[in-house]
């Protein structure tokens, strides 16, 4: 299934086709030509570009088309994909504490974990900082290693005939090990307690805002692997795992006022506005401001005048709207975007022709959206 969120086009050279006239054409001699243009997105957050998991990609594609003469098919360029990132503002800075208990063999508590984070939301190129505190619950146990990974999750699901097709991919963006203290202090040295600061710079590469679209979800976590060694003479090692959920934005909260009209941004499910092409010489696309003054008079006269049949008798006939002057393009009503869904009879290929592989089918679960 392929869904087109929007499709907008603009003629860069040649005459615009009309509904009542054939269109002339011009011969273009071999050579180098440049046709500048500009495009503006409306205040709408569309889903972010993504290629994972396979089969659930979101792409923003440019193509150039040269029409052939006399309605013959023309030449189409290859597809150029542009990354798109919606503007998501981070929440105000607020500390929060994550707590969990590490369990051995699904029944025996092994250690208490408390993680204190200085924020709820982070942006790329910001410093991530947290205080990790761990306490072992057994006297014969000690912490021997702690490693963590900053991970990005892509999930996709779609309603199919048998149930819901589900696919997930996990990408490790940053990973590191915690340096455990080895000094002679009573608790820190023997591994029964751990109090350590963890910090790293959130990368800009591969980090896009947390986002939920119709069939996809992007979210992040900090995944920990803790090795606890237990026993005096006969020692055994147990590896426990836990993950701290993280939220990612791409605009810090204190920069909220730097972007004009950001508070008017809408979700793509709530708005039907479409990206708009316009002249590259302009800084902004011309905004529709109603009818120009030179058209108000003829329009009013056409609506108010009662036609006469030449015998002095008035006939109740509608006025001729086709005689009105043509509106300039900038005053035309902007087209609303229309989503189009195409169901394919064969399996689509992923990026660069890669095979998509099989999705996990959850039978009996008929849920196609998050």
For the chain, percent helix, then strand, then coil, each to nearest 5? 10, 35, 50
pLDDT for res 186? 45
Mean pLDDT score across all residues of the chain: 80
pLDDT for res 110? 85
**Band of the pLDDT at 55, cuts 50, 70, 90?**
confident
Cα separation, 38 vs 8, in Å, equals: 12
More confidently predicted of 345 and 248: 248
Highest mean pLDDT among 21-30, 320-329, 355-364: 21-30
Highest mean pLDDT among 19-28, 124-133, 179-188: 124-133
User: 189 pLDDT exceeds 70?
Assistant: no
Sheet (strand 193-201) strand order = 96-104, 108-117, 127-136, 193-201
User: If you ran DSSP here, which 8-state letter would residue 308 be given?
Assistant: B
More confidently predicted of 146 and 318: 146
For 128, other C-beta atoms within 10 Å of its C-beta total 17
pLDDT tens-place string over residues 289-313: 544 545 545 554 544 555 555 555 5
pLDDT tens-place string over residues 124-183: 999 999 999 988 888 778 888 889 999 999 988 888 777 888 888 899 999 998 887 765
Rg (CA), the chain: 31
Could you state, in order of their start, the residue ranges of all structural domains in the chain?
96-257
**Band of the pLDDT at 281, cuts 50, 70, 90?**
confident
pLDDT for res 244? 93
User: 324 pLDDT exceeds 50?
Assistant: no
For the segment 69-94, the average pLDDT, to the nearest whole number, is 87
User: If you ran DSSP here, which 8-state letter would residue 16 be given?
Assistant: P
In whole angstroms, what separates CA 2 from the centre of its chain? 16
Q: String of b and e for 135-168 (b: at least 16 CB within 10 Å)?
A: ebeeeebbbeebebbbbbbbbbbbeeeeebbbbe
Lowest mean pLDDT among 17-21, 90-94, 142-146, 239-243: 17-21
Q: Helices in the chain by DSSP H: which ranges?
A: 186-190, 293-304
Nearest C-alpha neighbor of 19 from the set 331, 279, 322: 322
In whole angstroms, what separates CA 92 from the centre of its chain? 22
pLDDT for res 288? 60
User: 248 pLDDT exceeds 70?
Assistant: yes
More confidently predicted of 293 and 269: 269
For 40, other C-beta atoms within 10 Å of its C-beta total 11
pLDDT for res 290? 47
Backbone phi, psi, residue 85, to 5°: -130, 120
For the segment 242-265, the average pLDDT, to the nearest whole number, is 87
The DSSP code sequence of 40-88 is E--SEEPPPPB--STT--B--EE--EEPPGGG---EEPPPEE-------
Class of domain 96-257: mainly beta
Highest mean pLDDT among 18-22, 32-36, 251-255, 362-366: 32-36
Is the bond preceding residue 53 a cis peptide, omega within 30 degrees?
Answer: yes
Give the SS3 label for residue 76.
strand
Q: String of b and e for 265-287 (b: at least 16 CB within 10 Å)?
A: beebeebbbbbbebeeeeeebee
Cα separation, 339 vs 325, in Å, equals: 32
For the segment 221-246, the average pLDDT, to the nearest whole number, is 86
For the segment 36-56, the average pLDDT, to the nearest whole number, is 86
pLDDT more than 70, % of the chain: 81
User: 241 pLDDT exceeds 80?
Assistant: yes
**Band of the pLDDT at 116, cuts 50, 70, 90?**
very high
Say which residues have a Cβ less than 8 Å from residue 286's Cβ, sequence separation at least 6. Answer: 278, 330
**Residue 347 · residue 6 · CB < 8 Å:** no
Say which residues have a Cβ less than 8 Å from residue 327's Cβ, sequence separation at least 6. Answer: 291, 295
**Residue 267 · residue 46 · CB < 8 Å:** no
Highest mean pLDDT among 4-18, 44-58, 217-231: 217-231
**Band of the pLDDT at 334, cuts 50, 70, 90?**
low
**Band of the pLDDT at 242, cuts 50, 70, 90?**
very high
pLDDT for res 297? 52
For the segment 2-20, the average pLDDT, to the nearest whole number, is 84
Cα separation, 51 vs 57, in Å, equals: 4
Cα separation, 229 vs 250, in Å, equals: 41
Cα angle: 329, vertex 37, 68; to 5 degrees: 80
Cα separation, 247 vs 91, in Å, equals: 9
Say which residues have a Cβ less than 8 Å from residue 71's Cβ, sequence separation at least 6. Answer: none
**Residue 271 · residue 334 · CB < 8 Å:** no
**Residue 44 · residue 271 · CB < 8 Å:** yes
pLDDT for res 364? 75
């Amino acid at each position: 299934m392929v869904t087109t969120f929007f499709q907008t086009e603009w003629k860069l050279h040649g005459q615009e086709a009309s509904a009542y006239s054939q269109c002339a054409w011009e011969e273009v001699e071999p050579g180098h030509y440049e046709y500048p243009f500009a495009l503006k997105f409306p205040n709408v957050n569309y889903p972010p570009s993504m290629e994972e998991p396979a089969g659930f990609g979101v792409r923003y594609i440019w193509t150039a088309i040269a029409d052939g003469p006399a309605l013959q098919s023309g030449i189409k360029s290859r597809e150029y994909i542009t990354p798109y990132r919606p503007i998501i503002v981070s929440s105000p800075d607020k500390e929060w504490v994550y707590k969990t208990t590490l369990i051995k063999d699904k029944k025996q508590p092994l250690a208490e974990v408390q993680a204190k984070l200085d924020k709820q939301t982070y942006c790329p190129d910001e410093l991530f900082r947290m205080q990790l505190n761990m306490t072992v619950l057994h006297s014969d146990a000690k912490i021997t290693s702690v490693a963590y990974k900053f991970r990005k999750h892509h999930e996709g699901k779609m309603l199919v005939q048998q149930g819901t097709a589900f696919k997930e991919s996990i990408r490790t963006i940053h990973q590191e090990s915690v340096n455990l203290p080895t000094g002679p202090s009573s608790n820190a040295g023997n591994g029964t307690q751990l109090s350590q600061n963890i910090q790293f710079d959130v990368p800009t590469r591969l980090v896009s805002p947390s986002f939920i679209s119709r069939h996809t979800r992007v979210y992040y976590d900090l995944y920990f692997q803790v090795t606890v060694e237990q026993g005096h003479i006969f020692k055994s090692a147990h590896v426990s795992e836990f993950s701290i959920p993280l939220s990612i934005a791409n605009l810090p909260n204190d920069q909220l006022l730097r972007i004009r009209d950001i508070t008017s941004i809408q979700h793509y499910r709530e708005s039907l506005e479409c990206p708009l092409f316009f002249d590259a010489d302009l800084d902004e696309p011309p905004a529709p401001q109603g009818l120009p003054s030179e058209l108000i008079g003829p329009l009013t006269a056409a609506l108010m005048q009662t036609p006469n049949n030449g015998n002095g008798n008035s006939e109740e006939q509608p006025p001729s709207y086709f005689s009105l002057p043509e509106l300039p393009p900038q005053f035309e009503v902007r087209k609303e975007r229309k989503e189009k869904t195409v169901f394919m009879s064969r399996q689509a290929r992923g990026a660069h022709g890669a095979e998509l592989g099989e999705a996990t089918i959850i039978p009996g679960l008929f849920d196609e959206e998050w």
